[in-house]
Structure 1
Amino acid sequence: MILRAKYVIQNDRTFIEDGAVILCGSIIQKVGRYTEIRDLTPTKVIDLGSAVIMPGLINTHTHLELTHHKNLVNHYISFTDWLLQIITKSNSQDNQQINQAISDGIHLTLAGGATTIGNIHSAESGLKKLKYSQIRKVVFLETLGFSPHVFANESARINKRLESLQNDDLFTIAVTPHAPYSTSTKLYRHCTDIAKSKRLNLSTHIAETREEIEFLKHGTGKLTELLNILDIPLDTWTPPKVTPIKYLKEQGVLDIQPLLAHCNYLTNDDIDILAKSGSSVAFCPRSHQYFHHTNHPIARLISAGVNVSIGTDSLASNRSLSMLDELKFLANNYEELSSEMLISLFTINGAKSLKLKGIGKLEKNWQADLIVIGISDDQRPVFEQVCDQNSENLMTIVAGTICYKHKTIEI
């Protein structure tokens, strides 16, 4: 199959006018000008007209099992009140509801232009639905447990789940200790040891709120109150009196170059530590806005050389799971980021964050993960047109398979 369009964006720096991509199974066979490659193979040509073929977007932080939490969780009074609602709602979901939430979330994600996700998964059910879905995914198995007496059971549970799962072309397993206020130091170290020995990616929620910083530095505040409400004892715990990033460094987590979700509140020292460690950050812009956080340090992170990628988080704190919507939001609200930089954040940086090879660019012998974006075609630079509020995802292809097609596209 040959896809032809007015533009082909190969990466964050290179585009081709009157471009085409030859797909051979799940692999890209050739990228170039249509006139130069049209006769290379006797196959069907799909002419997409005034559109852009580009690498699929990569959503590095989402929670598909929370897809049905949209409009179920009241707009928060505080982060901890919101979190308590999430815990209550999640505990009431049965297996069928979880599977349906995942299925619906995948459909919305594909329609929104993502071909790859980093999905946080905590439920006992739903993994089979995830594994056999036609979207590329890194599934971070979530573990949490703050009390010392739950360590044995929780560590055994996560070990058993990891042993029962095998990677395939579209499914990569990983681990995620939830957050410093919900996961003990011992459990963080256990997950880090597992990730190191099995060569797994590790992600964690970190530096997400001011409450988290207060909890780690002083052992006080709303997160302490939440743990008391949940009857989680703190009598044997002593606050480390450091920032969340320094806490991760002390536990050896940063030694394995993890993917750190949010990182909303960072000191300059924190950013230096992240840059030296080679860790990646998953910034969730619209979720960040939902909680009325202060300006995210994304520009400082990028300037320091930290690999930053983008996530949607869940529908419990976002209006959609569309990565194209997320791209438009960033373009509209973070003017210091060029359109070329935005494309990088949503593509190759995401691949690096998830530690996946062969995605994030359109290159020969790379994975055939791509999207087709309809644009206004108003003579502005093509990167700007993709980030424009009027752009629209017309097609999503994962490993050479068309997974989403707009009703206006005829094949």
Structure 2
Amino acid sequence: MKIFRADYVFPISADPIKDGVITVDDVGKIIAVSDQIPAGADAVPVEQLNGIITPGFVNTHCHVELSHLHGKIPESGGLVEFIKGIQQLRNSDPKEIEAAAIKADNDMYENGIVAVGDISNSNVTIPVKAKSKLYYHTFVETFGFTPERADAVFNNALDLAAQFKPQSCSVTPHAPYSVSKELFKLIKKYSDANPNKNLISIHNQECEDENKFYRYKLGSFNDLYAHFGIDISYFKPQARNSLQSVIPLLTSKQDILMVHNTCTNLKDIYFIKRFDRRIHWCFCPNANLYIENSLPKIDLFLNQGFNITLGTDSLASNNKLCILSEMRTLQQKFPSLSTEILLQWATINGATYLGIDKEKGTLERGKTPGLNLITGLDNMTITPDTKVRRLI
């Protein structure tokens, strides 16, 4: 048994507890959360801490297999140039890729992350995840913008997903600009046939040119397709944003995470509300700044009734895999966001999306959510000096 007392304990499922006490057993399962030492535990030493105790963080969007690209792609080059850089550099020595993935996994653990929604395009991270202390759900990502490739791309994704099993995994589309309508339909058919067993995650509206391409077939994505030798003569402009174009193609039987949302507007949000889709949002602000030097209009998403989560994206587009760092950026850029709200996004909201909220996300008796100590707050506001230390 271990007992921790801190300035505040944030259960997330209840109001913060001043001078809070949390008691866990030797495997990290919570025995009690209160403002008192549990009865019968008087002989157990209490670790007195300055700061706040929170549940472990949930990172709903990462690309661990791209960790070897840390610092290799220039900042602020825009999404199209970033994609070109990824495709040019991603294939490397498998040992180098695996070593970087192992380090990234360990760094996330040290940064207080307990669960990860991770994008994979290969099997390189299977052994890393099998040995990890973190919970992983792997999204096997599909790319295929030409209709005639839809069947082959989808079948290859099913084969890769089979390699990940029995680890938690699902088959998912990459983004509106990289998945044909035919491929979307195959994923939807598969998802509809397996209710609640094929979690969906899709990159959404990372730059304005994505919307421009879908509305008018203009902008830098035309150069991207030409660069990769992809014939897009079949594609007709949709006269509406990319999100509005693909939402009808997505399943209503699975939870869907819309990731990045840098250029999502209020009309897009209202459009979603017209459809029976189980939409969640994920923000990765440091990656948005790294790639496009832009941020989502966060205020538009508040009080809309949607579940909001946080992600780190990859080390190709970020300097660290740290949810606290994402929270810091959001609070600096959007001061109205309280630390309490950001902690909900960083814990229970991510756990709810990943379907692990019975074990993670809140400090409640019987759960094993992990414990983080956050220090260096200024009147409960995150500062440059704020740090996270994993306790359990």
Same fold (TM over 0.5): yes
Contact 2:191-2:198 at 8 Å conserved across structures? yes
SS state at 2:141 partner = strand
Quote the Cα distance in structure 1 between the aligned partners of 2:179 and 2:301. Answer: 26
Quote the Cα distance in structure 2 between the aligned partners of 1:317 and 1:165. Answer: 25
Contact 2:263-2:297 at 8 Å conserved across structures? yes
Query: How much does 1:287 deviate?
Result: 1.4
Amino acid corresponding to residue 218 of structure 1 in structure 2: Y
Contact 1:206-1:260 at 8 Å conserved across structures? yes
CA change 1:4–1:273 in 2 (3 A) is same
Query: How much does 1:101 deviate?
Result: 1.9
| 1:401 matched residue in structure 2 | none
CA change 1:259–1:253 in 2 (3 A) is same
Quote the Cα distance in structure 1 between the aligned partners of 2:48 and 2:116. Answer: 26
SS state at 1:232 partner = coil
| 2:258 matched residue in structure 1 | 260
| 2:11 matched residue in structure 1 | 10
Indicate whether 1:390 and 2:390 are aligned.
no
SS state at 1:393 partner = strand
Contact 2:97-2:124 at 8 Å conserved across structures? yes
- Note the residue ranges of structure 1 that are not aligned, 5 or more in a row: 398-411
Query: How much does 1:136 deviate?
Result: 1.3
Query: How much does 1:26 deviate?
Result: 5.3
CA change 1:286–1:164 in 2 (3 A) is closer
Amino acid corresponding to residue 172 of structure 1 in structure 2: S
| 1:184 matched residue in structure 2 | 180
| 1:312 matched residue in structure 2 | 312
Indicate whether 1:339 and 2:343 are aligned.
no
SS state at 1:214 partner = helix
CA change 1:162–1:26 in 2 (3 A) is farther
Quote the Cα distance in structure 2 between the aligned partners of 1:41 and 1:188. Answer: 59
| 2:141 matched residue in structure 1 | 142
Amino acid corresponding to residue 372 of structure 1 in structure 2: L
SS state at 1:137 partner = strand
Amino acid corresponding to residue 387 of structure 2 in structure 1: E
| 1:174 matched residue in structure 2 | 170
Equivalent residues, number: 385
Query: How much does 1:28 deviate?
Result: 2.1
CA change 1:239–1:355 in 2 (3 A) is farther
Query: How much does 1:213 deviate?
Result: 0.7
Indicate whether 1:367 and 2:368 are aligned.
yes
Quote the Cα distance in structure 2 between the aligned partners of 1:148 and 1:94. Answer: 32
| 1:78 matched residue in structure 2 | 78
Amino acid corresponding to residue 28 of structure 1 in structure 2: I
Contact 2:184-2:250 at 8 Å conserved across structures? no
Write the mapping of 1:294-305 to structure 2, written as runs, cut at 5 A. 294-305=294-305
Query: How much does 1:360 deviate?
Result: 0.9
Query: How much does 1:76 deviate?
Result: 4.3
CA change 1:216–1:372 in 2 (3 A) is same
Quote the Cα distance in structure 2 between the aligned partners of 1:40 and 1:258. Answer: 44
| 1:226 matched residue in structure 2 | 224
CA change 1:254–1:337 in 2 (3 A) is farther
SS state at 2:32 partner = strand
Amino acid corresponding to residue 207 of structure 1 in structure 2: Q
| 144-153 or 57-66: bigger deviation | 144-153
Give the TM-score normalised by the residue count of structure 2. Answer: 0.90
CA RMSD of aligned residues (A): 2.3
Amino acid corresponding to residue 234 of structure 1 in structure 2: I
Contact 1:50-1:374 at 8 Å conserved across structures? yes
| 1:286 matched residue in structure 2 | 286
Indicate whether 1:250 and 2:240 are aligned.
no
Quote the Cα distance in structure 2 between the aligned partners of 1:77 and 1:41. Answer: 59
Quote the Cα distance in structure 1 between the aligned partners of 2:20 and 2:212. Answer: 55
CA change 1:246–1:256 in 2 (3 A) is farther
Query: How much does 1:227 deviate?
Result: 0.8
Quote the Cα distance in structure 2 between the aligned partners of 1:304 and 1:268. Answer: 10
Superposed CA deviations along residues 251-277 of structure 1, whole A, max 9, x for unmatched, are 134663300101111232211233453
The percentage of aligned residue pairs carrying the same residue is: 23
Contact 1:287-1:313 at 8 Å conserved across structures? yes
| 1:97 matched residue in structure 2 | 96
Quote the Cα distance in structure 2 between the aligned partners of 1:191 and 1:252. Answer: 8
Quote the Cα distance in structure 2 between the aligned partners of 1:182 and 1:339. Answer: 36
| 1:193 matched residue in structure 2 | 189
Contact 1:12-1:343 at 8 Å conserved across structures? no
Query: How much does 1:230 deviate?
Result: 0.5
Query: How much does 1:396 deviate?
Result: 5.0
Amino acid corresponding to residue 73 of structure 2 in structure 1: V
Superposed CA deviations along residues 330-359 of structure 1, whole A, max 9, x for unmatched, are 222211212221111111111123232221
Query: How much does 1:292 deviate?
Result: 4.1
Contact 1:284-1:310 at 8 Å conserved across structures? yes
CA change 1:374–1:39 in 2 (3 A) is farther
Query: How much does 1:27 deviate?
Result: 2.9
Give the TM-score normalised by the residue count of structure 1. Answer: 0.86
Superposed CA deviations along residues 78-135 of structure 1, whole A, max 9, x for unmatched, are 32112101110013x2321221121111112122221111111112322221232110
Contact 1:204-1:261 at 8 Å conserved across structures? yes
